[in-house]
Amino acid sequence: QDKCDLPVVHLDTPPNLWVDYKPKADMLVLDSIFPEGIQIPQTFEGKNIIHLPTMKTHVFTTMTGAMKNAFGGLLHRKRHWTHSVIHETLVDLLAIQQEIHPGIFAVMDGTFAGDGPGPRAMRWHVKDTLVSSSDQVAIDAVSAYMMGFDPMSIEFIRLAHERGLGCADIKALNIVGEDIEKVNWHFSRAENTFASKGQKLIYWGPLKFLENALLRSPIVGWAFLASNLYHNGYWLNTYGKRRIKSALKTDWGKLFQSY
């Protein structure tokens, strides 16, 4: 930021405002989740955007990349309400992005790539890879393919492709650089943490009837506390610190420490 003289914008801090926005595209889920109206950061409208996601797996969406990178910026405080319909949400967010941003570009960082129960309990792998595109569907499809997944088997990628928001057909893409036909990192799509198992029981399992009471009510703080205790209390101290220590011994880790 200092080197490039970039401003820091905190979306929840005045004078930055969240404003009502009515999408032109038909929404899959966001209009029903937010019946009072969809809000977006006013500062986003009319500006180009560059996403800088990382290549990693995710317990809810198999992998996460450029499309999910909008999740933290375009959704306000109730974004956790969308977890049970996360795939449809990401498609809606991409449709909104294409309406409000004149240009969208993504550079995905696969210098380290994350495998396993991401995004918070992954195993890192040095892959020395960068992927870039102005097509957010294509970049996620290519990244998923490199991880060893069929892009069309990942719901948010398939839905976005079918709705014409981008191209997920690997054979139809003009890919410059590495021949990804020969790439398969054999990443895992079936792993969970204790925390994500509990979340899935609430979002898609036998505890679904408790979702509103547990996660959409004033007592929702228990979920944030439980996640913090598990990930930052238990997991970080039993697994995470060892992985961080070994990552810092790599060339990328040494570069990070030199900043």
Residue 234 within a domain: no
* Res. 172 pLDDT band, cuts 50 70 90: very high
Q: Which tokens in the block code for residue 254?
A: 């040494």
Residue 202 within a domain: no
Report cis status (omega within 30 of 0) of the bond before 23: no
Residue 249 within a domain: no
Q: Which tokens in the block code for residue 77?
A: 């405080």
pLDDT per residue over 78-136, tens digit each?
Answer: 889 999 999 999 999 999 999 999 999 999 999 999 999 999 999 999 999 999 999 99
Element (H, E) at 104: strand 104-115
The answer, yes or no, to whether residue 242 has pLDDT greater than 90, is yes
pLDDT per residue over 52-69, tens digit each?
Answer: 999 999 999 999 999 999
Residue 205 within a domain: no
Lowest mean pLDDT among 3-12, 132-141, 144-153, 213-222: 3-12
Q: Which tokens in the block code for residue 164?
A: 């014409």
The answer, yes or no, to whether residue 1 has pLDDT greater than 80, is no
Q: How many structural domains compose the chain?
A: 1
Average pLDDT, the chain: 95
Instruction: Identify the CA nearest to 189 among candidates 73, 60, 55, 74.
Output: 60
* Res. 15 pLDDT band, cuts 50 70 90: confident
Q: Would you state the pLDDT for residue 114? A: 97
How far apart CA 205 and CA 163 sit, in angstroms, is 28
How far apart CA 87 and CA 166 sit, in angstroms, is 15
The answer, yes or no, to whether residue 169 has pLDDT greater than 90, is yes
Report cis status (omega within 30 of 0) of the bond before 15: yes
CB 126, CB 250: distance < 8 Å: yes
β-bridge pairing 123-133 and 62-64: unpaired
Distance of CA 218 to the CA centre of its chain: 26
Residue 242 within a domain: no
Residue 251 within a domain: no
CB atoms within 10 A of CB 165: 19
State the virtual CA torsion across 66, 139, 158, 194 in degrees, nearest 10: -50
Residue 2 within a domain: no
Residue 240 within a domain: no
The model's pTM is 0.94
| 3-class DSSP assignment, residue 49 | strand
Q: Would you state the pLDDT for residue 175? A: 96
Q: Would you state the pLDDT for residue 42? A: 94
Q: Would you state the pLDDT for residue 2? A: 80
How far apart CA 173 and CA 258 sit, in angstroms, is 37
Q: What is the DSSP string of 122-149?
A: PEEEEEEEEEEES-HHHHHHHHHHHHT-
Domain encompassing residue 62 = 18-193
